[in-house]
Amino acid sequence: SASQIGLMGLGTMGSALALNIAEKGYDIAVWNRTTAKTKDFVVEAGDLASRITPCESLEAFVNAIERPRTIILMVPAGAPVDQQIADLEPYLAPDDLIIDAGNANFNDTTRRMRDVKFPFLGVGVSGGEEGARHGPSIMVGGAKENWERVAPILKAIAAKHEGEPCADWMGEAGAGHFVKTVHNGIEYADMQLIAEVYGIMRDGLGLGASEIGDVFDRWNEGVLQSYLIEISGKVAHTEDAASGGPLLDIIEDAAGQKGTGRWTAIEAQHLASIVPVIEAAVAARNMSARRGQRRDLQDVFGAAPQGVDSASIPLDKLEAALICGKILCYSQGFDMIATAFAQNGWDDNLPGIAKVWREGCIIRSGMLDDMATALAEQPGRSLMASPLFADRLKATEGALRHVVVTAMAKGLPIPALSSALAYFDTMRTARGTANMIQGQRDFFGLHGFKRLDDGSENQHGPWASN
Ligand code: 6PG
């Protein structure tokens, strides 16, 4: 019998997704550029092989799928996606649906939505290989009727939060990949905040990797409960067979990146939206990669004093500081989504996005459930202002301030924690300092300013007479 769905691209994510689909009771046709991989895949599928139709040619693949067809592309983002669509085109019928489930740049998705001659969805899938295999978080963008065509299968394979699938329609066009991009920006920021707190424990408090692992394990029982804290604990506890010491201690301190966090920062600039913690996290990855330069500068300036009296940063304060930084960074992410959706004329559903992120994805956490509730209570208002998170910020702001001040006094690098605090201080200050900038702009360029006293616009100073 014909397969209900087809999947192209049997890399790590594609294979895992195909097995997940087969396991949920769907018959699936698969194709890969190299046929050897397709053959291996079916052998490794074991019991699930009976639901899988391996195809060696594109024509055979397309013919194996029942009409109207649904075809998932799981190929590397960028040109390979366009190529794959072009190769498929001659075999498809006008109502066949193509789903790009790779990590596409949402601008490409919006373009494809316009140019591809077939129904098209751009779908963000998060959760790594494990998620793809057993339940990812799925962020769908494109025409709503196309989402409705595939909602049953995508909901079936998605992660569940108390039975509710973490798969939903995010909005028109590139909205699904846009939300995935911001997810990754938040992922970078969350990881960086954790790395900075790790640094404070290691270089400030002098704790060893396994002691730090215990701290993360403990935090994972509280407000910070999340996949990233959980795996940080596991990473810190892992021993290296060769050295007999903690593996973490011998991992090079240079972070890789495939670019989606950077896209978030770039897009934020285009939108004039405010995501300094995410930008700090991207910059921190870039700085981490400059190992030679950092070594050179340490030779020039000497190492920072580091080391703090352990009484001066108690671990519960550090935990509270991380909670505070995390709330601020997620607020920025949700604000960015709201800004982008407004500019694109897409309806936003921030609580729905928070819900889709509760399980399956890399940033899944207990806090996201509360965020979904808080965002639903006050549409259009910052997460920071919601009663629950305002209370949490009030309860933890002092700890963040204390940790930032103490760490900075010792030269411990904390770019994301400190930018979270700077963001908070800037945004909670009603009377800012940009009046000086407006004065300067008017002085050198007659750019005009608005008077606070009578509200008159485009005023100029008497600067010329000075
Ligand atoms: C996910 C991840 C996933 C992947 C990124 C990592 O949601 O499952 O975000 O997309 O892990 O590719 O990105 P970097 O290589 O840029 O760290």
Tokens representing 444?
Answer: 């050198």
What are residue 165's DSSP bridge partners? 160
Distance, CA 456 to ligand 1 centroid (Å)? 49
By alpha-carbon position, which residue is closest to atom 7 of ligand 1?
126
Same domain assignment for residues 69 and 196 = no
Instruction: Tell me: do 197 and 160 sit in the same domain.
Output: no
Residues 211 and 328 both lie in one domain: yes
Q: What is the pTM of this model?
A: 0.96
Do 259 and 123 sit in the same domain of this protein?
no
Joined tokens for residue 225: 């409960």
Residues 162 and 92 in one domain: yes
User: Could you tell me if 188 and 261 are in contact, meaning their C-beta atoms sit under 8 angstroms apart?
Assistant: yes
Q: Is 273 in the pocket of ligand 1 (CB under 6 A)?
A: no
**Does residue 304 surpass a pLDDT of 70?**
yes
pLDDT tens column, 352-409: 999 999 999 999 999 999 999 999 998 889 999 999 999 999 999 999 999 999 999 9
Residue 261 alpha carbon, nearest atom of ligand 1: 16
Tell me the pLDDT tens digit for each residue of 263-298: 999 999 999 999 999 999 999 999 999 999 999 999
Same domain? For 201 and 307 the reply is: yes
Q: Could you tell me if 343 and 265 lie in one domain? A: yes
Q: What is the CATH number of the domain that holds 443?
A: 1.20.5.320
Is the pLDDT at 348 greater than 90, yes or no?
Answer: no
Tokens, residue 107: 């601008």
For residue 98, the enclosing domain spans 5-173
CA angle 288-302-399, nearest 5°? 65
For residue 225, the CA-to-ligand 1 centroid distance in Å is 20
Whether the Cβ atoms of residue 268 and residue 326 lie closer than 8 Å to each other? no
Q: Which of 9, 2, 46 is nearest to 28 (CA)?
A: 2
Give 48-58 pLDDT, tens digit per residue.
Answer: 999 999 999 99
The pLDDT tens digits for 93-106 are 999 999 999 999 99
- DSSP sequence for 179-214: HHHHHHHHHHHHHHHHHHHHHIIIIIS---HHHHHH
**Mean pLDDT on 234-246:** 97
Give the number of the atom of ligand 1 that is nearest the alpha carbon of residue 184.
Answer: 9
355 with 338, same domain: the answer is: yes
Q: Is 283 found in the same domain as 152?
A: no
Residues contacting residue 267 through CB under 8 Å, at least 6 positions apart: 106, 178, 181, 336, 340
- State which of 110, 138, 173 marks the end of a domain: 173
Determine the Cα–Cα distance for residues 408 and 304; give it in Å rounded to an integer. 10
Are 401 and 442 in a shared domain? no
What's the number of domains the chain is made of? Answer: 3
Mark which of 124, 155, 173 sits at the end of a domain: 173
Same domain membership, residue 275 and residue 242? yes
* Peptide bond between residue 152 and the one before it cis (omega within 30 degrees of 0): no
Compute CA 374 distance to the chain's CA centroid, rounded to the nearest angstrom.
20
> CA-to-CA distance for 107 and 85, rounded, in angstroms?
17
Distance CA 353, CA 374 (A): 12
